[in-house]
């Protein structure tokens, strides 16, 4: 006979259920049209449970985004995750860029709807605008670390005079949710096709 889940396990399952409900509603209806009451009803919990767990709707949106990007509830920084360590440890520059594109695809397949919900709401809500700017800064910081590694592997010589700073800018644009959303959601590309295009674009832009 299986053991009954502990109180902590039940709380984690309930938190996950609320996050899943919020993620689905934010993606379908947007930030403004999604209410805490609807999230609670969809998750099968009381409204006060949502407020007790997350504090407010903005904090819930932030955790939805963080969880979608990470793929789990573990408090592990992006650069400490296995896929990022593989990128940094890959000795071949072109292969590193291919791994960056593959990692970005896996993240965006999960997180693109949450990222779009945040981006869309940023135009009308100053606190969410700050959340969006922080997300862009975080993505740029990851790409800056990757670009530093890329430049070192390429002997300090990148295409067209790029240095690590501008290489990070290029990767931020190519691997960003805006480009992914335009081609995958907007133009019907598959995520795998986008990954191949992104890897090729990075190689053509950055490697001699």
Mean predicted lDDT score pLDDT of the chain = 95
- Assigned domain for 1 exists: no
Count CB atoms within 10 A of the CB of residue 42. 16
Q: Are 42 and 140 in the same domain?
A: no
User: Which DSSP state fits 78?
Assistant: G
Q: Is the pLDDT of residue 3 over 90?
A: no
Q: Which residues neighbour 85 within 8 Å (Cβ) at sequence distance 6 or greater?
A: 79
Q: Are 114 and 65 in the same domain?
A: no
- Assigned domain for 48 exists: yes
Q: Are 64 and 94 in the same domain?
A: no
- Assigned domain for 185 exists: yes
**pLDDT computed for residue 2 by the predictor:** 53
Query: Measured between alpha carbons, how far is residue 10 from residues 13, 17, 41 in Å?
Result: 5, 10, 18
Mean pLDDT of 170-199: 97
Q: Are 126 and 158 in the same domain?
A: yes
Q: Are 88 and 66 in the same domain?
A: no
Per 3-state DSSP, what percentage of the chain is helix, strand, and coil (rounded to 5)? Answer: 75, 0, 25
- Residue where a domain stops, chosen among 25, 53, 70: 70
Calculate Rg over the CA atoms of the chain. 19
Task: Report the CATH number at residue 66.
Answer: 1.10.10.60
Q: Which of 148, 188, 153, 141 is nearest to 167 (CA)?
A: 148
Tell me the pLDDT tens digit for each residue of 101-143: 999 999 999 999 999 999 999 999 999 999 999 999 999 999 9
What three-state secondary structure class fits 156? coil
Q: Are 93 and 182 in the same domain?
A: yes
Domain of 42 in residue numbering reads as 7-70
Q: Are 59 and 87 in the same domain?
A: no
Q: Are 117 and 37 in the same domain?
A: no
Question: CA geometry: angle at 196 spanning 193 and 202, to 5°?
Answer: 135
Q: Residue 193 in contact with residue 84, Cβ under 8 Å?
A: no
The domain total for the chain is 2
Q: Are 93 and 170 in the same domain?
A: yes
- Assigned domain for 42 exists: yes
Q: Are 58 and 140 in the same domain?
A: no
């Amino acid at each position: 006979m299986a053991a009954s889940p502990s109180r902590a396990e039940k709380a984690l399952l309930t938190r996950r259920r609320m996050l899943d409900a919020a993620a689905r509603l934010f993606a379908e209806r947007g930030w403004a049209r999604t209410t805490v009451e609807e999230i609670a009803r969809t998750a099968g919990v009381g409204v006060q449970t949502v407020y007790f767990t997350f504090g407010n709707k903005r904090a819930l949106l932030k955790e939805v985004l963080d969880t979608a990007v990470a793929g789990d509830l573990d408090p592990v920084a992006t650069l400490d995750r296995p896929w990022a360590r593989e990128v940094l440890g890959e000795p071949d520059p072109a292969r590193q860029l291919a791994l960056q594109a593959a990692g970005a695809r896996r993240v965006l397949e999960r997180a693109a709807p949450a990222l779009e919900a945040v981006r869309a709401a940023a135009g009308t809500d100053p606190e969410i605008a700050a959340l969006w700017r922080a997300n862009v800064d975080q993505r740029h910081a990851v790409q800056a670390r990757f670009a530093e590694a890329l430049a070192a592997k390429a002997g300090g010589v990148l295409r067209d005079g790029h240095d690590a700073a501008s290489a990070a800018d290029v990767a931020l644009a190519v691997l960003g949710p805006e480009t992914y959303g335009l081609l995958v959601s907007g133009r019907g590309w598959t995520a795998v096709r986008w990954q191949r295009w992104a890897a090729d674009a990075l190689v053509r832009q950055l490697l001699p």
